[in-house]
Amino acid sequence: MFFCNDDDWYKLNHVQSIMENIEQGYDWVYTLRSVYDKEGNYLLDDNCEALGELHDCYQAPGHRFVDWCMWGMKTPVLKALANVLSEPGWGGDRKFYEAARQFFPNFTWSGERTFCFRLGGNEYSVKQDFFEIGNYTMNGKYDNQLPWLTNEKL
């Protein structure tokens, strides 16, 4: 199962890169994301927030997650977690990620950055400077040698 918001999109190899890992026996797989402006122009890569198990969110030590559209999972896994989707309030993607990693710990990342996240979807959307500040902070923390990039197949 895959989900994609109507204002975001996948790179052509998104589904294939996730399915190759699921076919190796994982229950679910996530990818990383690139950030685009409202017109669809590439801005930067998210190296500060939605990094899954590769790193904590830069503003929240100990907190990890991926956005809704960054993962694919076996249908029975999604069915088992479906009740989490109905929880009200902000942070549904974060709650879902926590439940998925707790109850289905047999997961990995695709090793790729195939999700395209568009800014400006609504007035509450995260702004470009969030990622710029976050990436700057992470680059400073690791002296411009982000550990998860050494394993990426970008």
List, for residues 112-139, the tens digit of each pLDDT value.
999 999 998 778 788 999 999 999 999 9
Domain assignment of residue 3, yes or no? no
Domain assignment of residue 4, yes or no? no
Domain assignment of residue 2, yes or no? no
Domain count, the chain: 1
Domain assignment of residue 1, yes or no? no
List, for residues 19-70, the tens digit of each pLDDT value.
999 999 999 999 999 999 999 999 999 999 999 999 999 988 889 999 888 9
Indicate the SS3 state at residue 101: helix
What CA–CA distance (Å, rounded) separates 21 from 28? 8
Average pLDDT over residues 94-119: 94
Q: How confident is the model at residue 151 (pLDDT cuts 50, 70, 90)?
A: low
- Domain around 138: 9-151
Strands (E), 17-80: 28-36, 42-45, 71-73
Domain assignment of residue 126, yes or no? yes
Domain assignment of residue 28, yes or no? yes
The closest alpha carbon to 98, from 54, 66, 71, 60, belongs to 66
Domain assignment of residue 95, yes or no? yes
Contacts of 4 (CB under 8 A, 6+ apart): 10, 69
pLDDT at 46: 97
pLDDT at 153 over 60: no
- pTM assigned to the model: 0.90
